[in-house]
Amino acid sequence: MLSFLARVILFAIAISVVRSVVAMVQRAFKNGGGTQPPVRSPKAGQQPGNTQQAATMLQQDPVCGTYVAVDTSLKRVVNGRVVHFCSPQCRDKYAA
């Protein structure tokens, strides 16, 4: 009877360990490997909020609807307004 109880307890512990490992692996894949970019302090003369906002500003491509980062997008001034594009193909389609 005692050996049966010991086996049941070991089985429960093994199941618990396996569930914990599976949950850890799922979290790692959900968070992109668990790596986060380092947080940088603002340079002298900069306000902390401005660097964060500029890094995450997105604009929608008027041709395909893709959201692109302002700092990496292809830009064209149309009627005094800056229009952001995700690719040269979308930029050329918009001009046509």
pLDDT in tens, the chain (96 residues): 788 999 999 999 999 999 999 998 888 887 665 555 556 655 555 555 555 555 568 888 889 988 998 888 888 888 888 999 998 998 888 875
Q: What's the domain count of the chain?
A: 2
Question: Does a structural domain hold residue 41?
Answer: no
Look at residue 65 and tell me if it is in a domain: yes
Give domain status of residue 62, yes or no: yes
Q: Is residue 30 domain-shared with residue 58, that is, in the same domain?
A: no
By the 10 Å C-beta count (0-12 exposed, 13-18 middle, 19+ buried), 86 is classed as buried
pTM: 0.42
Q: Which domain holds residue 86?
A: 54-95
C-alpha 61/C-alpha 65 separation (Å) is 5
Residue 7 lies in a domain: yes
Sign of the dihedral defined by the CA atoms of residues 36, 37, 41, 47, in that order: negative
- DSSP3 helix / strand / coil % (the chain, rounded to 5): 50, 15, 35
